[in-house]
């Protein structure tokens, strides 16, 4: 009896497999059209041109991103290489060569233009100890930048560029922020191009600076 049941199970398995192969490769043998069998129903979102007005309202940051993005800049920095004591070691030079002590250090960051006069707000760690600083605008223009002031404690720095017709960010009142407010972050991470992301204010007053 056990042998008959095993034979029956194997026969059913073979028949199901054969039916699947026929339905996939030759659906017309089963009286179905190949074009009908390959159609999968999906739901498509409306195009931007026909989307309801609410899409550009509270559910989208497109207006804010469009207004702020031109004022966000990329910042490239370079610092001359400093020869270490090990570079004078003949064995070190044998294994690593002279180029090990001649490679300049480069950095990448983001900033925002805060004044039509060319002042750029960025992080202090982006430009700290840099010998050369280049600011690249979203429209492709480039300019060497001069450090006007830094505050390592708050990790802020002010740069100055000499370009005209600059897009400028509109500054808000940070004192009006509350936990849970939605915010945008615009920058150029890893040099891949300008990127926009969003989040919320998660906390206030954690700087311990007394300001």
109, exposed or middle or buried, with CB in 10 Å at 0-12, 13-18, 19+?
buried
Query: Does residue 152 lie within any of the structural domains?
Result: yes
For 107, the token pair is: 């950095």
Query: Does residue 190 lie within any of the structural domains?
Result: yes
Distance between CA atoms of residues 53 and 57, nearest Å:
7
Output the pLDDT for position 211: 47
Tell me how far the alpha carbon of residue 3 is from its chain's centroid: 63
Query: Does residue 160 lie within any of the structural domains?
Result: yes
Output the pLDDT for position 177: 87
Distance between CA atoms of residues 115 and 109, nearest Å:
19
List alpha helices for the chain, DSSP H. Answer: 2-25, 34-37, 62-68, 90-96, 124-127
Distance between CA atoms of residues 165 and 11, nearest Å:
80
Print the domain residue range for 185: 60-81+91-200
Distance between CA atoms of residues 194 and 112, nearest Å:
12
Query: Does residue 27 lie within any of the structural domains?
Result: no
Task: Please report, for residues 18, 79, 84, 92, 160, the alpha-carbon distance to residue 100 in angstroms, rounded to integers and kept in the order given.
Answer: 65, 15, 10, 9, 33
Please count the residues of the chain.
211
Output the pLDDT for position 207: 63
Query: Does residue 143 lie within any of the structural domains?
Result: yes
Query: Does residue 181 lie within any of the structural domains?
Result: yes
Output the pLDDT for position 22: 54
Could you report the per-residue pLDDT of 150-197, keeping only the tens digit for each?
999 889 999 999 999 999 998 888 888 899 998 889 988 777 788 899
Query: Does residue 54 lie within any of the structural domains?
Result: no
- Number of domains comprising the chain: 1
Query: Does residue 208 lie within any of the structural domains?
Result: no
For 104, the token pair is: 């300049």
Tens-of-pLDDT digits for all 211 residues of the chain? 656 566 656 665 666 566 555 555 555 555 544 444 455 454 454 554 444 444 445 568 889 899 999 999 999 999 886 655 555 666 666 556 655 455 678 888 999 999 999 999 999 999 998 999 999 999 999 999 999 999 998 899 999 999 999 999 988 888 888 999 988 899 887 777 888 999 999 988 776 654 4
| Whole-prediction pTM | 0.62
Output the pLDDT for position 174: 81
Output the pLDDT for position 25: 56
Beta bridge partners of residue 113, listed in sequence order: 120
DSSP designation for 11: H
CATH number of domain containing 195: 2.40.10.120
């Amino acid at each position: 009896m056990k042998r008959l049941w095993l034979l029956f199970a194997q026969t059913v398995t073979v028949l199901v497999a054969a039916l699947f192969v026929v339905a996939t490769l030759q659906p017309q043998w089963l009286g179905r059209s190949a074009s009908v069998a390959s159609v999968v129903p999906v739901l498509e979102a409306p195009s931007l041109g026909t989307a309801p007005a609410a899409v550009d309202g509270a559910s989208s940051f497109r207006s804010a991103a469009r207004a702020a993005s031109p004022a966000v800049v990329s910042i490239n920095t370079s610092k001359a290489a400093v020869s270490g004591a090990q570079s004078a070691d003949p064995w070190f030079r044998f294994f690593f060569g002279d180029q090990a002590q001649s490679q300049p250090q480069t950095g990448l960051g983001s900033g925002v233009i805060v004044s039509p006069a060319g002042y750029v707000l960025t992080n202090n760690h982006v430009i700290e100890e840099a010998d050369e600083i280049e600011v690249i605008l979203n429209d492709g223009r480039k300019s060497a930048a001069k450090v006007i002031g830094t505050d390592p404690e708050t990790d802020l720095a002010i740069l100055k560029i000499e370009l005209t017709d600059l897009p400028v960010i509109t500054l808000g009142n940070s004192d009006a922020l509350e936990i849970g407010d939605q915010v945008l972050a615009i920058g150029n991470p890893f040099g891949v191009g300008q990127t926009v992301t969003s989040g919320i204010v998660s906390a206030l007053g954690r700087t311990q600076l007394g300001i």
